[in-house]
């Protein structure tokens, strides 16, 4: 498995020793083909939301995609918590280091708070609200904004101490030896941080992007201007740290032991510096950040044209974000970013004569490495966002002699989201709780174990093993969770142990929120609604 941005899903699995975990990792590197030993075998039980004849209920899917984040919350839960099977957890996080790091999100099916993917999740949730929040029903917009705030309240805590950035809570190796609920976890809540001379431009740059993007949400939402100013000030602080101490956090041996192989910075820190600057420019309107991108773009690899976008690699999103400046006439010197954005989009258009991304026989975007749905939702979001920017500026794209306009991009995104919701060869939804058939045995500790609300007795590290190994459905459906998804042949094994396919992540759902919001208002795309 080649380490690159989102082409390499971090490892999340249950094991009984680090030795076993390392053995599994070694096997993964050898890149086995998708297993066919345990195929999905449910028969159709009705048409419902999964029927092409009836179309999809995008509003229902949107509601559930946002609800998912409540199931991922860490800390003391609010009175209006809707995922009622969850309880308080991690209330004393940071206490051992003398800091308050309560809150935030668990990244996936484990009980660790990884700052790098959490910040990216916050950026994408915010970008979803910025571009498509006006298309959300009012109640869902409020829930989406609350999901953003749950992340940004935590991220502000990570930069609250001058010269220090807290990047992780929880020892992932100890955590992955256990299968236990977050409400009763007894694994080490080790706190990891970066401070000079340790470098962390990647995490700090993404934190800057997240806080800057969120400041637009709260300023545009009109509900909390003071909070928006705090976020923008925090974004500038995080960016200054990132720029002053250049380097990847996982280059440090001590931090690498905690973050790798789960969320190593495989792609380098340079893209996060440009990404953070681009979001600060959009949030503040300050030409200083545009100048930073112009002056440092070549040095930091802006022209390298990576066709990737995810928690580790921001290049495609950066190009699209900066291309907007060019198309709006605000930065004519940034035309190269428009060309790079066009090149990326062309890789997603099967009709293009240029080289394009792999698709499964059923039509799903596919990249090797596991947790494939992170690519599907992120790329779909970029398709819709770029369609909006093109529409607003009357630009088009030339893809190998084919002129591509906004409608082509919208239709391509619709194919992807409809596949997720059930228009696929095995006729099942990959979103828990949506439609008639969806994954029942997802790789997620809290979902697969008895709820603290119904089983108050302590469950220690190994007490969850029988539940992990059981073929029973998870007792607590994590409504709205989108799993890693099928293999390259469209097969899906509803297997809790196959974390590459069955584990949900926050950064799968975050861009999907914006995608679904668009289709709530435009179920049959052909034009952008404002």
- CA 95 to chain CA centroid, Å, is 28
Per annotation, catalytic residue among 14, 56, 315, 443: 443
CA distance 136 to 475: 30
Tell me the three state secondary structure of residue 26. helix
CB contact at 8 A, 241 and 150: no
In the block, which residue shows the tokens 């915010």? 126
CB contact at 8 A, 123 and 208: no
Per annotation, catalytic residue among 60, 206, 342, 494: 494
CATH code for the domain of 461: 1.50.10.10
Tally the residues of the chain: 530
**296 in a domain, yes or no?**
yes
CB contact at 8 A, 128 and 517: yes
**378 in a domain, yes or no?**
yes
Q: Provide the terminal-to-terminal Cα distance of the chain, rounded to the nearest Å.
A: 42
Specify whether 271 is catalytic: no
**43 in a domain, yes or no?**
no
- CA 260 to chain CA centroid, Å, is 18
Specify whether 444 is catalytic: no
Per annotation, catalytic residue among 93, 271, 418, 503: 503
- CA pseudo-torsion sign 501, 7, 180, 154: negative
CB contact at 8 A, 261 and 10: yes
Instruction: Give the number of domains in the chain.
Output: 1
**268 in a domain, yes or no?**
yes
CA distance 461 to 458: 10
**66 in a domain, yes or no?**
yes
CA distance 204 to 257: 19
**1 in a domain, yes or no?**
no
Specify whether 12 is catalytic: no
Q: Could you tell me which residues are beta bridge partners of residue 52?
A: none
* Radius of gyration from C-alpha coordinates of the chain: 21
CA distance 410 to 518: 9
- Relative orientation angle of helices 138-158 and 115-132, to the nearest 10 degrees: 150
Q: Which domain holds residue 364?
A: 58-521
**358 in a domain, yes or no?**
yes
Query: pLDDT digit of tens for each residue in the chain (530 aa)?
Result: 333 333 333 444 433 333 333 333 433 333 333 332 222 222 222 223 333 334 899 999 999 999 999 999 999 999 999 999 999 999 999 999 999 999 999 999 999 999 999 999 999 999 999 999 999 999 999 999 999 999 999 999 999 999 999 999 999 999 999 999 999 999 999 999 999 888 899 999 999 999 999 999 999 766 799 999 999 999 999 999 999 989 999 888 878 777 788 898 888 999 999 999 999 999 999 999 999 999 998 878 776 766 889 999 999 999 999 999 999 998 888 999 999 999 999 999 988 877 789 999 999 999 988 899 999 999 999 999 999 999 999 888 999 888 999 999 999 999 999 999 999 999 999 999 999 999 999 999 999 999 999 999 999 999 999 999 999 999 999 999 999 999 999 999 999 999 999 999 999 999 999 999 999 999 988 544 43
**485 in a domain, yes or no?**
yes
Degrees, nearest 5: CA angle 316-320-324: 165
CB contact at 8 A, 421 and 64: no
């Amino acid at each position: 498995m080649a380490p690159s941005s989102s082409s390499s899903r971090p490892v999340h699995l249950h094991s009984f020793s680090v030795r076993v975990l390392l053995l599994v990792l070694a096997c993964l590197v050898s890149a086995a083909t998708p297993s066919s030993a345990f195929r999905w075998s449910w028969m159709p039980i009705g048409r419902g939301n999964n029927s092409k004849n009836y179309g999809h209920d995008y509003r229902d899917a949107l509601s559930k995609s946002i609800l998912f984040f409540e199931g991922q919350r860490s800390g003391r839960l609010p009175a209006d918590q809707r995922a009622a099977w969850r309880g308080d957890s991690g209330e004393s996080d940071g206490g051992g280091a003398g800091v308050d790091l309560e809150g935030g999100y668990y990244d996936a099916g484990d009980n660790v708070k990884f700052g790098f993917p959490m910040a990216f999740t916050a950026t994408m949730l915010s970008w979803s609200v910025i571009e498509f929040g006006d298309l959300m029903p009012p109640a869902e917009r409020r829930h989406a904004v609350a999901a953003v705030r749950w992340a940004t309240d935590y991220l502000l805590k990570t930069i609250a101490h001058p010269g220090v950035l807290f990047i992780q809570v929880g020892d992932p190796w100890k955590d992955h030896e256990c299968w236990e609920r977050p409400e009763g976890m007894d694994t080490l809540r080790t706190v990891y941080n970066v401070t000079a001379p340790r470098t962390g431009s990647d995490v700090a740059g993404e934190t800057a992007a997240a806080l800057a993007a969120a400041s637009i949400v709260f300023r545009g939402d009109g509900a909390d201007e003071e909070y928006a100013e705090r976020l923008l000030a925090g974004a500038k602080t995080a960016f200054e740290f990132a720029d002053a101490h250049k380097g990847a956090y996982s280059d440090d041996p001590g931090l690498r032991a905690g973050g790798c192989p789960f969320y190593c910075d495989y792609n380098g820190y340079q893209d996060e510096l440009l990404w953070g600057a681009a979001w600060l420019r959009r949030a503040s309107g300050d030409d200083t950040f545009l100048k930073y991108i112009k002056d440092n773009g070549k040095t930091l690899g802006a022209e390298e044209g990576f066709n990737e976008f995810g928690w580790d690699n921001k290049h495609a999103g950066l190009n699209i974000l900066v291309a907007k400046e060019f198309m709006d006439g605000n930065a004519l010197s940034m035309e190269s970013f428009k060309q790079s954005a066009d090149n990326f989009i062309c890789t997603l258009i099967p009709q293009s004569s240029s080289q394009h991304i792999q698709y499964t026989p059923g039509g799903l975007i596919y990249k090797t490495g596991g947790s494939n749905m992170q690519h599907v939702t992120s790329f779909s979001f970029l398709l819709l966002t770029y369609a909006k920017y093109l529409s607003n500026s009357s630009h088009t794209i030339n893809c190998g002699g084919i002129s591509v306009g906004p409608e082509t991009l919208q239709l391509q995104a619709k194919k992807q989201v409809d596949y997720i919701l059930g228009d696929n060869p095995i006729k099942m939804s990959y979103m828990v709780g949506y439609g008639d058939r969806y994954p029942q045995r997802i790789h997620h500790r809290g979902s697969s174990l008895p709820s603290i609300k119904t089983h108050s007795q302590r469950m220690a590290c190994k007490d969850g093993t029988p539940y992990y190994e059981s073929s029973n459905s998870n007792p607590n459906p994590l409504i709205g969770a989108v799993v890693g998804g099928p293999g390259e042949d469209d097969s899906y094994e509803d297997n809790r142990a196959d974390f590459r396919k069955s584990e949900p992540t926050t950064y799968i759902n975050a861009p999907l929120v914006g995608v679904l919001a668009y289709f709530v208002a435009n179920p049959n795309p052909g034009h952008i609604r404002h």
